[in-house]
Structure 1
Amino acid sequence: MKSSDLFLLEKNTQRDLRIDFFRGLALMMILIDHVESILGVSLLSRFTLKSSGFCDAAEVFIFLSGYLYGRVYSRVHQKDGAVACIKKSVRRGFGLYLATLLTLCCCLAISVPFALRNDQIAQQLFLTPLLVVPVESTFYLADLLYTPYGFEILRLYILFFLILIPSLFLLLKWDPVAAWFLSIGLYAAAQYFSWFTIPMAFSEFRSFHFNPFSWQFLFFIGLVLGAKKQRGTTHWDNSRILACFSLVMILMVFYFDIVEPEIVYQILNTKFLNLFQAMIMKQTMAPFRLIHFLAIAFCVNYLTSSKGRFWKSKWASPLVVCGRNSLFVYCLGLVLMYLVVVLVSTFVLGNRWILFFHLLGGGISILLAMAIDHHKRIKHKFMREPTI
C-alpha cells in the first residue's frame, strides 16, 4: 500500500467521539432500566429512551456497535484481506464469550447465596432453574442456552461476531445486493415465523429474548453505514427531506405513545390493536420500532457534528470514556445491577437508596473506564518509545 493511501486511511478512520458518547450514554441507561425494571420502580427510567417511544438504549448500543464494526473491519479488509477479517471477528467473539462467563460467575457468586433464602430474588434474576436443577442448568450456562437476567445483549454479540455478521460483512464486500437480500430475508422471516429463532432452555419465551435473525438487520444497517463512512461515500446524511420525515415520525410517536396513548386504543379495535403491538415488539425488532429508532438516529446525526467542541469537553468526557471501553463498563454494570437487586430486596431499601445506588454505580463505571483508558495510553506510549 502506498504512503498516500495509508495517510488517507488514517484520516478517514479518525474516531467520531459522538459514537463513544452515545454508547456511554446507552450503557448508563441500560444500567438504570435493568435495575428499575427488576425492582418495579420508575425513578430515573422515566427519563431514559424507553420512556419516549418504541425503542430504548439496546437499539442505540447495537446500531452504534454495527457502525464501528463496519469502519474497523473495512480497514482490516482493505489492509489485510478477508481472512484477517474472519480471524479478528472470531477472536473478538471468543473474547466476548470469556468475558461473559467471567461476568456470569461474579453475578452468580453475588446473588445465589441470597436467592437460596429469598424466592423473590430467584424469580427477579431468573435464577430458579439454577436452584432447582443445578447440574442441567450449569451445562446450559456454559453454552449460554440459559442465562440469568441481563445477559441478552452479550449473548447476541457473541453470536454476531462468531457467525452471522462476518458472513454478511464479507458478502457485502463481494456482492452488496446479495448481502442486503440475505439480511432483509432473515429479518422478514423472523417477523413472519415465530419459530424462526434460536430455542433457549428454561426461558419463559423458549427463545432468544432478542431474536438474532431480526436484530442482525439493525446491526447490519449500522455496519453498512460505517463501511460507507470508512470509504467517505456517505451523501445522504445531510438530506433535509429525510430530516423532516424523521422529525415528523419522532413527534408522532411521542404524541401517540406519551401524550395521548388512549387515542391508539380508541381508534384500533382488538384485532388491529394486536397487530399494532406486534409491529412494536422488542423481541423481534418489529418494523415500527426499527423505523422509529432509525428516525431518531438520523435526526441526531443531522443536528450534531463530529467536529463539535462539546464531544471533547469535560462534560462529555466521562461518557466518551465509558463508550470507548464499552465491554468492561457493560460487564461491570451487570455485576453492580445484581448487587443492587440483592441489597434492595434483602434489606427492603427504599427509593432513596435506589437513587444513591444509581449515582454510585455510574461513578464506579466512569472511574473504571478512566482507569482502563489511562492504562491503554501508558501502554501505547511505552510501545512507541525506542528501545535500547
Structure 2
Amino acid sequence: MSGTLPTGRPRDLRLDFFRGLGMFIIFIAHVPNNAWNNWIPARFGASDATEIFVFCSGMASALAFGAVFRDRSALLGAARTAHRVWQVYWAHIGLFCIVVAMIAWFDTLVGSDFYTTRLYVRPFLEDPASHLIGLMTLRYVPNYFDILPMYLVLLAMMPIIATLGLANRWLAFALMAGLWLVAQADYLSLSAEVRAGVEREWFFNPFGWQLVFFTGFAFMMGWIKAPPIKRSLVVLAVAILLLNVLFASRFGWENFDFVYQTRDLAMWTFEKTDFGLMRYVHFLALAYLAYVAAGEGGRRLAGAGAWGAFVRTVRRVGQQSLAVFLSSMVLAQIVGALLDVTGRTPLTIAFFNLAGFATLVVVATTVAWFKHQPWRRPHQPAAGAAKVERASGVERLTLEPAR
C-alpha cells in the first residue's frame, strides 16, 4: 500500500512548533546542575525531550525525503538520505571536537581536570589515538554525544523502511516491531567503548529508538492516520499522564514503597537505552494531548499579537533544529561553567537559561538568513544611487532621484 505525504501549512506549523519547544527543553536538560531541569516533562513521566526530537525528526525526514522515494526511486531516495547522513556525521565529529577542546581549555583556567571529568571525556584525552579512531568509526560514543550517532543509524535505516512501506506498510511495521522487540531482549545493540575490558553500549540503542522515529515517519507518509479528537481518548491520555506522575516522576515512585516495588517488576518498560514500552506509551499520550491542544489544523497556534510572535519564534527554532541542537550542546557547557563561577542562585539560573534561549533564537534566525541566500536575489539600486547611462557611445553619470 502506497503512502501519501500530507501537505499543507497547518501540519508544518505544528511540527515546527513542537520541535522548537523540544530544542529549548534539550538545552535546559544539558546545562550541568540546572535547577530548571527539575521541571521539564521528563520529571513528570517516562518520556522526555529526546522522544520529541526523534519523533519530529522522523516526521521531518518524511517531508524531506519521502517524496523522493515515492515519486522518483528507491535509489535516488537512498542517495538523498546518504547526503544527509554525511552532513550529520561531520556535525557529530565537529561537535565533539569543539566541546572537548572548549572544556579542556576550561580545565586550564581552573587548574584541574574538573570539566573533562564531569563530561566523562577523560579516556579520550588519556588515550587519544585509539579513541580518535573509535570516534571516527562510531565505536567510541561518549555520553552527551550520543544522540547524533543514534540519528545517523536511523537515517541509514530509512531507505529500507521507506521501500518496504511504499510496497506494503505492514511490512515496514513488522520490521519496526521486530527490531524493537529484539532490542528489548538485549540481542541487538552497539558498543560505545574501545577500552579493553570495559563494556558499555550506546546510551540510545537505535534499534529500540527507531520505533518512535518511524512512527513519526509513518504519520507523515500517510501510513498511519491522524487520531480523531475524542473525549474518551483525551481522558485516556490524561489518565496515562497521571499514572506516570505516580510511577515515573520524581514526585512518585521513589517516595512510596508499594509503587517502587511495582515499578521494579516492570523496570525494563521504563528503560531509556532500549526505549522501553512505557516511554512509548507516555510519549504517545503526551503527543496526542499536544495535538488536541493545537486544535484542528493547528488553528490555536495561529494568531497575531504576543502569542503569534511567540509561536513564530519557536517555529523558527524548530525549522533549524540541527543547527540549534549543535549550538545548544556547546552553549550548555558554557552556561554550566558560568554558573560555576557566579553561583547557582534563582536569579543567575533564570538569567543564564533565558540568555541561552535568546542565543538559540539568534542562531535559528541567522541560519535561516543564510539558507535564504539573500546575495542571490536580483540587485535593487538604492534610492539616490549613482547610475551610468550610455548614449551615442558616451558615458554619462547621473544621480537617480530618491523616491
Q: 1:252 matched to which residue of 2?
A: 243
Q: 2:28 matched to which residue of 1?
A: 32
Aligned mates of 1:234, 1:10 — CA distance in 2: 10
Aligned mates of 2:160, 2:56 — CA distance in 1: 19
The answer to whether the 8 Å contact 1:21/1:311 transfers is no
Map 1:36-115 → 2, pairs under 5 A: 38-39=32-33, 41=34, 43-115=35-107
What secondary structure is seen at the aligned counterpart in 1 of 2:222? Answer: helix
What letter matches 1:261 in structure 2? Answer: W
Q: Quote the offset at 1:260 in angstroms.
A: 4.3
Q: 2:284 matched to which residue of 1?
A: 294
The answer to whether the 8 Å contact 2:59/2:220 transfers is yes
Q: Quote the offset at 1:13 in angstroms.
A: 7.1
For residue 335 of structure 1, the aligned residue among 330, 339, 345 is: 330
Q: 1:200 matched to which residue of 2?
A: 192
Please state if 1:160 is matched with 2:121.
no
Please state if 1:125 is matched with 2:119.
yes
TM-score, structure 2 length as denominator? 0.82
Aligned mates of 1:148, 1:298 — CA distance in 2: 33
Q: 2:355 matched to which residue of 1?
A: 360
Kindly tell me: are residues 77 and 237 of structure 1, through their superposed partners in 2, closer, same or farther at Cα, counting changes over 3 Å? farther
Kindly tell me: are residues 237 and 70 of structure 1, through their superposed partners in 2, closer, same or farther at Cα, counting changes over 3 Å? farther
Q: Quote the offset at 1:125 in angstroms.
A: 0.8
What secondary structure is seen at the aligned counterpart in 1 of 2:19? Answer: helix
Aligned mates of 2:265, 2:135 — CA distance in 1: 35
- Quote the sequence identity (%): 25
What secondary structure is seen at the aligned counterpart in 2 of 1:214? Answer: helix
The answer to whether the 8 Å contact 2:301/2:311 transfers is yes
TM-score, structure 1 length as denominator? 0.85
Q: Quote the offset at 1:148 in angstroms.
A: 4.2
Please state if 1:171 is matched with 2:164.
yes
Kindly tell me: are residues 156 and 256 of structure 1, through their superposed partners in 2, closer, same or farther at Cα, counting changes over 3 Å? closer
Q: 2:275 matched to which residue of 1?
A: 285
Q: Quote the offset at 1:382 in angstroms.
A: 2.6
For residue 184 of structure 1, the aligned residue among 174, 177, 180 is: 177
For residue 217 of structure 2, the aligned residue among 197, 207, 223 is: 223
| Structure number with bigger Rg | 2
What letter matches 2:150 in structure 1? Answer: L
What letter matches 2:289 in structure 1? Answer: C
The answer to whether the 8 Å contact 2:252/2:259 transfers is no
Aligned mates of 1:355, 1:49 — CA distance in 2: 18
Aligned mates of 2:21, 2:133 — CA distance in 1: 35
Kindly tell me: are residues 129 and 185 of structure 1, through their superposed partners in 2, closer, same or farther at Cα, counting changes over 3 Å? same
The answer to whether the 8 Å contact 2:5/2:221 transfers is no
Deviation digits for residues 329-370 of structure 1 (CA, Å, limit 9, x no counterpart): 00001111222334444x373334343222222111101111
Q: Quote the offset at 1:26 in angstroms.
A: 0.7
What letter matches 1:31 in structure 2? Answer: F
What secondary structure is seen at the aligned counterpart in 2 of 1:169? Answer: helix
Q: 1:151 matched to which residue of 2?
A: 145
The alignment covers a number of residue pairs equal to: 366
**Higher-helix-fraction structure:** 1
Deviation digits for residues 29-71 of structure 1 (CA, Å, limit 9, x no counterpart): 1111111xx33x4x21222111111111010110111122223
Aligned mates of 2:265, 2:114 — CA distance in 1: 34
The answer to whether the 8 Å contact 1:130/1:138 transfers is yes
Q: Quote the offset at 1:236 in angstroms.
A: 2.9
Kindly tell me: are residues 380 and 170 of structure 1, through their superposed partners in 2, closer, same or farther at Cα, counting changes over 3 Å? farther
The answer to whether the 8 Å contact 2:253/2:263 transfers is no
Unaligned segments of structure 1, at least 5 residues:
1-7
Q: Quote the offset at 1:142 in angstroms.
A: 1.6
The answer to whether the 8 Å contact 2:140/2:194 transfers is yes
The answer to whether the 8 Å contact 1:27/1:326 transfers is yes
Kindly tell me: are residues 240 and 70 of structure 1, through their superposed partners in 2, closer, same or farther at Cα, counting changes over 3 Å? farther
What secondary structure is seen at the aligned counterpart in 2 of 1:283? Answer: coil
The answer to whether the 8 Å contact 2:208/2:275 transfers is yes
Unaligned segments of structure 2, at least 5 residues:
381-403
Q: 1:5 matched to which residue of 2?
A: none
What letter matches 1:224 in structure 2? Answer: A
Q: 2:391 matched to which residue of 1?
A: none
Please state if 1:237 is matched with 2:235.
no
